[in-house]
Structure 1
Amino acid sequence: MRNIGPSRLYASGMRLVPSPTARMTVAGMLAALAASVLPASTAHAAEPQAPGSFTGYGFDTCVAPSQTVMDRWNLSSQYSAIGIYISGNSRYCGDAYQPNLSPAWVADNAAIGWRFVPIHVGYQAPCFKNNPDSRVQKKRMSRTTSTARSQATSDANEAVAALKKYGFPAGSFTYLDIEYYSRSDTSCDAAVRQFVDAFDERVHALGFRTGLYSSGSAAIASINAIRTASWLDKPDHMWIAWTNRIADTDGGPYLADSAWNHHERIHQYHNGVNETYGGKTLNIDKDFLDVGKGSVRPAEQQPCGHPMTYQTWPGLTLGSRADQVWVLECRLKAVGQLQTVDGYLSTGTIAAINRFRASLGWSQNSRTSREFWTALLSAGSQPRVLKYGDVGEDVYRLQRALRAAGEDITSYGKFNAQTAAAVRRYRLARDLAGYRTATAGTWVNLQKGKLTK
């Protein structure tokens, strides 16, 4: 986390470390291209997800970035979720230092697919050590159980009020930030446990959910150790600060493999990193999320009653009854070039092939070449952006088209690391920036039947 000013302690060797989201579909090429440069609009408002169901990359940074930065990072970075500091009396980046953060900012970014990790930085452990050079001296909770619990309830009320202020619906998460402290002070550790329990109890009573952020060896390990205690109101998520630079949700020695293992984890795996996308640089902490139901690949749609995905897209000739004829005819029907789908490549189907070729300005030679398949399989509306962790029919469509264009795609329906690498190769082959995201430029080339060089 980046909220205590010039320095902070982390669990990895207790070393001192310098402080440092379904995507909107746009109809038509022109709208997609415009969306890549225009700011988001609340006219396309979507209920903000905090954080919803997702498996993929996120980041947190002290000050919520400008809309220009958010737009550019959305299109060109792997990140789909952002941690935002919305409440707490110990925030380094409190309201006075947040020129961009507002309900409208949340709504605009929800509309373009961003997910959110709302963070509450309130009372810290009684033995927490403030950095004397920081402009924010964090408040400490009491060692007295009754007082610590009262402070936690107050913090919970503030956190939920902030969630509502920013437009997050009931059931959304607030993540309690407990910075590093030494568990060797047992009364301090006991106070933290009581505070977490009372905070969770109150947030849950108000209809929202909780996550606990902390260094692995601090509050994460402490709550993990008592996770089966009958009195404990457990956090719904665990957000482990363990800077091992591995993008997964492993809790290492701090969190049992059997605990919070049903899409209930976030891992902050690298921090204080400068990254640049779309010409805009941020200093961030890098996170990997597996939350909600995760990014679950949906079953493939079969609009014509037959599978739509194959590993080969052959040249077809008059009279063919290959399985791919069903896909050919189904897609030709979807783009308005054919009325009847029967799995038989007739003269009517040949005529539809030529009509589609003519729509692209190609010769009407009746051929289903690789270029033809690439264009046909990708035809349709253009998602504003697809990236790691996205799922759904648009991802299937992208992957089929990339396969036809010559990319090595073997799994479908979920935008995974294989797909990200294929998108990057295809973009570079088509003289586009080497992002791992499928943006308007990717779709324009696919829909023109452009192959990997």
Structure 2
Amino acid sequence: MRLPSRPALHLSVVGLATGLLASVLLATPASAASPQAPGGFTGHGFDTCVAPDQATMDTWNLTSPFSAVGIYISGDSRFCGDAAQPNLSPAWVAQNARNGWRFLPIHVGRQAPCFVNNPASKVPKSVMSRSARTARQEARSEADQAVAALKRYGFGKHSVSYLDIEYYTRTASCDRIVLEFVDAWTERLHQKGYKSGLYGSGSAAIQAVDEARRTKRRGFTEPDQMWLAWGNGKANTNGGPYLSRQGWKRQRLHQYELDVRVSHGGASLLIDRNFLDVGKGSKAGKESTPCGTTQTFTRYSTLKVGSKGKQVKALECLLRRQGVLSSVDQHFGIGTARAVDAFRARLGLAPAGNANRVTWTALLSQGRNPVVLKQGSVGPSVYRLQRSLVAAGASLKVTGVYDGGTIRAVRAYRAARGLPQYPTVEASVWAELQRGQII
């Protein structure tokens, strides 16, 4: 998706970190997952003309901040149509979904009636009819194409398809047809059980649709999400002069940097950078309390025989889950001390008779590890990670959301353990935590 005069994208991948990648993926097999397009999420995404090969996707998954990828799946005006996509397939989508990627399925079809094609383009774009009635018929037909492609690639009901309307010089008559087209496209997707997204230049289609919302255009069905192309370099969803704050709250994407070459883990791509705040956003959900007590504390004290209280109960709960203690109370007795030493023996550590930061870090981090955690990740694994980092010595608030504070704590831990300075957590980080390695 491009603003006018932007060059087409070309893919270049160099220096893939295949050794690291292979060891990580073997250590943490992917579990089945339905592709999310894009689901509830707050964080970073990218789009590129040709879907990257699997090695690049895997490398970027482990080393980049991106969690969502834009893919061109439908529309006759795509520069990167099916014939130009050597990697994109239902199997590619399924594999990357298992690895935790989210998707932004893009449809590039008819453009505004006043759209001006680039004479040098290898794929001239068709335009909408200037007849409102015909334009609506065209929109419904294209929505049907988009739904067929969504189904082909494995995206279920309620997935979003993003209609790409490139920059055009706004006029009242041109806006009128664009709004009719967007309205009919959205209604058709809704009839089929899917959601409508609109991608466009902030000063063209996005602004036109926002004005229709603000003026309460009669009979107009708003898209579910708005994807604003505005290259101001700011990774947020502020629409500036183009998209007012009142509309599409938490249903926005911002393409804030265009046509930049970016390298992560030795793999280089020409991309657009995006920031998303969609669905319900990255929302952690309620923190679990096994054994009826929290496992989250601002610091984890050294516990020994005679210690009492909630931290003792949390410790004993963790020891029971590891199969080295049979009962849980709030009293650190001889049995608890023996259980601690039994757990430490698994780690190759000498008996201590007390639970210090090493013990806490190793206990709190135990569990099944996802392939990768990064900004926007949420849930039990993030809670587990954050608690472990606090026990290891990080200054961090436990929220269940992989946020900026978590990124800083992860980088500090990686630096302390001599690991590459990625903003993500994968098998190498978990291995250090589960061995009780502290800062």
- TM-score bracket for this pair, using the shorter chain length: over 0.9
1:66-106 Cα deviation digits (max 9, x unpaired): 11111111111111111100001110100010001111111
Q: CA deviation at 1:34?
A: 5.6
Counterpart selection for 1:187 from 173, 176, 179: 173
Structure 1 runs (4+) deviating above 6 angstroms are none
Secondary structure at the counterpart of residue 211 of structure 1: strand
Counterpart selection for 2:434 from 434, 437, 447: 447
Q: CA deviation at 1:278?
A: 2.2
Q: Is the 1:40–1:111 Cα contact (8 Å) retained in structure 2?
A: no
Counterpart selection for 1:221 from 194, 207, 210: 207
Aligned residues: 427
Query: Any unmatched runs of 5+ in structure 2?
Result: 10-19
Residue 13 of structure 1 corresponds to: none
The aligned amino acid for 1:236 is D
Residue 256 of structure 1 corresponds to: 244
Residue 293 of structure 1 corresponds to: 280
Give 1:248-287 correspondences, 5 Å limit.
248-261=236-249, 263-287=250-274
The aligned amino acid for 2:290 is P
The aligned amino acid for 1:57 is H
Q: Is the 1:35–1:384 Cα contact (8 Å) retained in structure 2?
A: no
CA distance in 2, matches of 1:308, 1:34: 33
Residue 394 of structure 1 corresponds to: 381
Secondary structure at the counterpart of residue 120 of structure 2: coil
CA distance in 2, matches of 1:226, 1:83: 27
Residue 426 of structure 1 corresponds to: 413
1:363-413 Cα deviation digits (max 9, x unpaired): 112122222211111122222211111111111111111111111112321
Secondary structure at the counterpart of residue 342 of structure 2: helix
Give 1:323-402 correspondences, 5 Å limit.
323-402=310-389
Counterpart selection for 2:69 from 82, 100, 113: 82
- When the two chains are superposed, the root-mean-square deviation of aligned CA atoms in Å is 1.8
CA distance in 1, matches of 2:228, 2:31: 34
CA distance in 2, matches of 1:378, 1:36: 17
1:414-433 Cα deviation digits (max 9, x unpaired): 11011011111211221111
Residue 80 of structure 2 corresponds to: 93
Q: TM-score, normalised by structure 2?
A: 0.94
Q: Is the 2:79–2:123 Cα contact (8 Å) retained in structure 1?
A: yes
Counterpart selection for 1:232 from 220, 231, 251: 220
Q: CA deviation at 1:277?
A: 1.6
Q: CA deviation at 1:436?
A: 0.6
The aligned amino acid for 2:156 is P
Q: CA deviation at 1:65?
A: 0.7
Secondary structure at the counterpart of residue 184 of structure 2: helix
1:350-370 Cα deviation digits (max 9, x unpaired): 110111111111111212222
CA distance in 2, matches of 1:135, 1:45: 39
Quick check: 1:107 aligned with 2:94? Answer: yes
Q: CA deviation at 1:186?
A: 1.8
Quick check: 1:136 aligned with 2:104? Answer: no
Q: CA deviation at 1:229?
A: 2.1
Residue 65 of structure 1 corresponds to: 52
CA distance in 1, matches of 2:219, 2:121: 36
CA distance in 1, matches of 2:363, 2:32: 31
Query: Any unmatched runs of 5+ in structure 1?
Result: 3-7, 10-15, 21-31
1:179-220 Cα deviation digits (max 9, x unpaired): 00111x221111111111111111111111100000111011
Q: In terms of mean alpha carbon deviation, does 292-301 or 215-224 score higher? A: 292-301
Residue 410 of structure 1 corresponds to: 397
Secondary structure at the counterpart of residue 146 of structure 1: helix
Q: Is the 1:123–1:139 Cα contact (8 Å) retained in structure 2?
A: yes
> In the superposition, relative to structure 1, how do residues 258 and 335 fare at CA in structure 2: closer, same or farther (>3 Å)?
same
Secondary structure at the counterpart of residue 113 of structure 1: coil
Q: Is the 2:21–2:58 Cα contact (8 Å) retained in structure 1?
A: no
Residue 155 of structure 1 corresponds to: 142
Secondary structure at the counterpart of residue 292 of structure 2: coil
Q: Is the 1:49–1:172 Cα contact (8 Å) retained in structure 2?
A: yes
CA distance in 2, matches of 1:289, 1:253: 18
Q: TM-score, normalised by structure 1?
A: 0.91
CA distance in 1, matches of 2:120, 2:337: 75
Q: In terms of mean alpha carbon deviation, does 366-375 or 107-116 score higher? A: 366-375
Q: Is the 1:197–1:232 Cα contact (8 Å) retained in structure 2?
A: yes
CA distance in 1, matches of 2:127, 2:69: 27
Secondary structure at the counterpart of residue 226 of structure 1: helix
The aligned amino acid for 2:346 is S
Counterpart selection for 1:317 from 282, 295, 304: 304
The aligned amino acid for 1:237 is Q
Q: Is the 2:27–2:427 Cα contact (8 Å) retained in structure 1?
A: no
> In the superposition, relative to structure 1, how do residues 33 and 444 fare at CA in structure 2: closer, same or farther (>3 Å)?
farther
1:90-134 Cα deviation digits (max 9, x unpaired): 101000100011111111111111111100000001111111111
Counterpart selection for 2:197 from 211, 217, 232: 211
Residue 198 of structure 1 corresponds to: 184
Q: Is the 2:383–2:398 Cα contact (8 Å) retained in structure 1?
A: no
> In the superposition, relative to structure 1, how do residues 383 and 40 fare at CA in structure 2: closer, same or farther (>3 Å)?
closer
The aligned amino acid for 1:427 is R
> In the superposition, relative to structure 1, how do residues 281 and 298 fare at CA in structure 2: closer, same or farther (>3 Å)?
same
CA distance in 1, matches of 2:389, 2:325: 24
The aligned amino acid for 1:146 is R
CA distance in 2, matches of 1:397, 1:365: 24
The aligned amino acid for 2:242 is Y
The aligned amino acid for 1:205 is Q
Secondary structure at the counterpart of residue 252 of structure 2: strand
Q: Is the 1:269–1:288 Cα contact (8 Å) retained in structure 2?
A: yes
Q: Is the 1:246–1:269 Cα contact (8 Å) retained in structure 2?
A: yes
